[in-house]
Amino acid sequence: MVKVVPSVKTRNGGTHRWWWWVLVPLIVLGAVGAAGVIYMQYLGLQPVRQGLGLLRNQPFGGRKQVSILVLGVDSDKDPRRSDTIMVARVDLTQQRLGVVSIPRDFHVAIPGHGTQKINGAYSLGGVDLARRTVESLIGIPCDYFITINSPGLAQLVDALGGVEVNVDKRMYYRDRRGGLYIDLQPGEQRLNGEQAVGYVRYRHDRMGDLKRIERQQAFLRAVLGEALQPRNIPRLPKLLKLFTETVQTDLMADDLQGIARLVEEMGPDAAKAATLSGTPVDIRGISCLEPDYQQVARAVNQVLLGVPPRVAIVNATEIPGVESGLVHRLTSGGYEVVEARFASHAAATTEIVDRAQYPEEAAEIRRWLKCGVVVKANGEEVPGADITVLLGTDYLGTEQNEEAVTR
């Protein structure tokens, strides 16, 4: 059930900078870190563990689940703000990677500084204050951090020799004040760092940020593919130099190697991602976003922690026991069945009621049932359940029902 899901569009019209998808440097640096270790071993330049503290026996000191705070800093000059804020959750046991993006305009409590936009935490107190602020918002600790300034990613792309992407449309945009110039023709092509910046920053689409996020995800896959190519071994010294110059992190070489290995085994399409959402508000003349804390909790549970959806089954077929086979299938598939009961009335059509934004999972249950439709909240949902399955009489002739009855 770990698949890429469309990130939720923020309601402020999209204020992320070009490096919104900061998972790119996280994975690239993982690949670079892993390759760097191999490179040093190949040359016989084993780092001294006690002196440099670069290597551990296992990634993350043996921990299997860790969270990483990823900050994209707008420049290398003061005052600096973290206009990109993300949390990546690495689960080596379950082979999961989840990423949640936090809008920079979220109006939150910053410890010791009252309430203001969350991107101000970094300028007020660096990584430590940004970490504490984010932890307070999402409710889980951030074990490690990565910061990267905006020129760094373009330099890394150039160091990789560019990236192959399929530009989906003619892209032309000029912003003299912001120093942005985009001029790309459609079609498959190799982009250099500056062109890649334009590709992921371009946002003049009918779909707005949703299309831009789609491009950013395609860019992520392209960069990952380049970073893992054997031909990039000769570039490792330059990549490692850029790594040390543009990135600050408390991750060690073995940690980065563990991330790279996980992504290579999973494939880039297996990561889950979401963007937290909020309501636009005006506070003392400043446009902000008031977080939707229920959506924040759902995103943290679904994307970062991998908490299984809670499912209730309501048997509306008038035949007792029909639901037992589905209960077994759901629990075997990683779902939590919180209730299974008989309905007070019959229903002709099976409905999978998705009340908590689990579209992938609701669609999967629909495929298992081989009947019915997926709907939003309609009064049939069971309190405490994320998804309610109302089994109708159309379920009676399916293969699953025949198995349930014979059982």
Residue range 14-38, pLDDT digits in tens: 333 323 334 444 545 555 554 554 4
User: In the prediction, which pLDDT does 374 show?
Assistant: 94
According to the model, what pLDDT value does residue 192 have?
Answer: 92
Contact in structure between 392 and 349 (CB atoms under 8 Å): yes
- Residue 314: the pLDDT is 94
How far apart, in whole angstroms, are the C-alpha atoms of residue 364 and residue 70? 32
Structure tokens at 333: 């598939």
Beta bridge partners of 69: 87, 145
Predicted local distance difference test score (pLDDT) of residue 122: 92
| Residues 354, 310: Cα–Cα separation, whole Å | 11
**Quick one: pLDDT at residue 361?**
87
Predicted local distance difference test score (pLDDT) of residue 284: 87
For the chain, residues with pLDDT lower than 50 are 1-25, 27, 34, 37-55, 208-209, 402-407
In this prediction, residue 41 carries a pLDDT of: 45
Per-residue three-class SS string for the chain? CCCCCCCCCCCCCCCCCCCCCCHHHHHHHHHHHHHHHHHHHHCCCCCCHHHHCCCCCCHHHHCCEEEEEEEEECCCCCCCCEEEEEEEEEECCCCEEEEEEECCCEEEECCCCCEEECCHHHHHHHHHHHHHHHHHHHCCCCCEEEEEEHHHHHHHHHHCCCEEEEECCCEEEEECCCCEEEEECCEEEEECHHHHHHHHHCCCCCCCHHHHHHHHHHHHHHHHHHHCCHHHHHHHHHHHHHHHHHEEECCCHHHHHHHHHHHHHHCHHHCEEEECCEEEEEECCEEEEEECHHHHHHHHHHHHHCCCCEEEEEECCCCCCCCHHHHHHHHHCCCEEEEEEECCCCCCCCEEEECCCCHHHHHHHHHHHCCCEEECCCCCCCCCCCEEEEECHHHCCCHHHHHHHHC
Per-residue pLDDT, 95: 87
Q: State the chain's maximal CA–CA distance in angstroms.
A: 74
The pLDDT, as a whole number, for residue 112 is 94
